[in-house]
Amino acid sequence: MMRLKSKLLSLNANKTAKVKVYSPRNCEELRIPFRADKTAKVVGKLASIQPPQSIHPDQSAAPPLVTGVLVQNDFKLSLMAPEDLREYAGLNTTTITCKQRLTLSAAGVDLVKWALEGTFGNIEELPEMRRGKNGQSNGNGDHMITDGEETKQEDADEEVASLVAAYLVMGCVSVRYRTNGEVELEWEGNMLNDGIADSVMAVLFSVESSPAAVKRSSAKHSHSHELPDVNPHHSASPEERLERLLWFLEAQFGQDNVAPVTTPKLPAIEDAEDKIKKDEADDAMKTEEDGEDTQLQERQQKEIDRLHKIGIPVPGVSIKVDRMNATVWLEDLEVESNNKVFADRVRAVVERAVEVTAPLWG
């Protein structure tokens, strides 16, 4: 090591700047400082951006930001736009082109264009569509050739479908509509374009199932086919409607938390004579417990029979969630609960369930 040191000193002895050669001992700690600042050269499109002219810029104004790709080659740093990687960095870039084909049997090209314009705003026509407009077309993909007074129609090739319309959506997704109803989508694969392409396909599928896509017959006919059978849900029994209501409530509150109520809610006695009779009956029933139970059962049975006559299978439905209980009386859809918030929630669910299964009974 000492000979190497002396050799280096002898080689650099003629330089104006004195060269120092250090020869530390083994296991001796070395602290070598390096400059933390690195200078990058801006090339390509980013180099066309004008830098600030003032040497001392305004501290209150936000400094301009330049975004790009930083490429390090050996010890040189270059800042450039992603489009300039091939030219200035010598890197090979790959572009993924995605294609999706779907067939629309009902929606026409006019309806497709209207739906795309309503969703994405103004759409551009591709140059291939402008070239196709130079010739006349009858709207079905068959070109018309006029020679004097005679007109001859060329039959379209059945094997190869011709292009009817070609549009560019949001500047990234190409939509091509052909005569056989085939729609081809083409776009450059990236996160933004993939999302736009998914939206375009959703619009096309919604247009295909839209009532506006139904084609009208060009001539009148007798409609001699048989009438369809009656819908099985047209006249459902009270038990079936109650079962649908229970399904709806079980989906909201859980299967184990919903149960029918078998004991009816007895109506209140309002007339004065009935109140007197009730008091007399209460005095008599105090002496005879068996008579009281019998009279109560008779009143409950009469109430159940009355509900059955108007098409209500059970008096009500009980709903229990944790410590909250609610009872829904099916005659007037009255909700009884000790918790007001839970009662409002049950009332809203029952109203929606009745709308789905309406008319609920009778």
Q: Are residues 178 and 78 in the same domain?
A: no
Residue 220 covered by a domain: no
The residue out of 177, 198, 213 marking a domain boundary is: 213
pLDDT value, residue 284:
55
Provide the Cα torsion 303, 309, 310, 314; round to 10°.
60
> Could you tell me if 255 and 182 lie in one domain?
no
pLDDT band at 153 (very low <50, low <70, confident <90, very high): very low
Highest mean pLDDT among 123-132, 142-151, 265-274, 330-339: 330-339
Q: How far apart (Å, rounded) are the C-alpha atoms in residues 351 and 253? A: 15
Q: Residue 198 belongs to a domain with what CATH number?
A: 3.30.310
- Residue 22's pLDDT band, with cuts at 50, 70 and 90, is confident
In a domain, 362, yes or no: no
How high does pLDDT run on average in the chain? 79
Question: 189 and 115, same structural domain?
Answer: yes
What pLDDT score does 127 carry? 86
Contact status, residue 100 vs residue 184, Cβ threshold 8 Å = yes
* Residue 324 in domain: yes
| 67-74 own/partner pairs: CB under 8 Å, 24+ apart | 68/42, 70/40
Query: In this structure, is residue 17 part of a structural domain?
Result: no
Between 286 and 296, the more confident residue is 296
pLDDT tens for 309-328 read: 888 888 889 999 888 899 98
Domain stop point among 171, 198, 213: 213
Residues 88, 104, single domain; the answer is no
Per DSSP, 290 falls in state: H
pLDDT beyond 80 at 291:
no
Q: Residue 84's domain spans which residues?
A: 37-48+66-93
Do both 339 and 242 map to the same domain?
yes
Same domain, residue pair 206 and 283: no
d(C-alpha 151, C-alpha 130), whole Å? 24
**Residues 6 or more apart from 254 whose CB is under 8 A from it?**
321
Q: Does the structure show a pLDDT above 70 at 49?
A: yes
Is 3 among the domain residues? no
| Any domain includes 78 | yes
Per-residue pLDDT at 226 exceeds 70: no
pLDDT tens digit string along 166-225? 999 998 999 999 888 899 999 999 889 999 999 999 999 998 888 887 776 666 766 666
Answer yes or no: do 88 and 103 share one domain: no
Q: Where is 77: in which H helix or E strand? A: strand 76-80
In this predicted structure, which of 31-35, 92-96, 156-160, 171-175 has the lowest mean pLDDT?
156-160
pLDDT at 143 over 70: no
- pLDDT score, position 141: 42
286 and 351, same domain (yes or no): yes
Q: State residue 322's pLDDT score.
A: 85
Q: Is 177 inside any structural domain?
A: yes
Q: Read off the pLDDT band of 42 (50, 70, 90).
A: very high
Cα 204 to its chain centre, rounded Å, is 15
Query: Do both 117 and 72 map to the same domain?
Result: no
User: Are 177 and 161 spatial neighbours (Cβ–Cβ below 8 Å)?
Assistant: no
Shared-domain flag, residues 89 and 101: no
pTM of the entire structure? 0.40
For residue 182, being part of any structural domain is answered with: yes
pLDDT at position 1 is: 78
Assess whether 101 and 201 both reside in one domain: yes
- Per-residue model confidence (pLDDT) at position 157: 46
Q: Does residue 244 sit in the same domain as residue 346? A: yes
Number of domain units in the chain: 3
Quick one: average pLDDT of 157-165?
71
Burial class (CB in 10 A: 0-12, 13-18, 19+), 143: middle
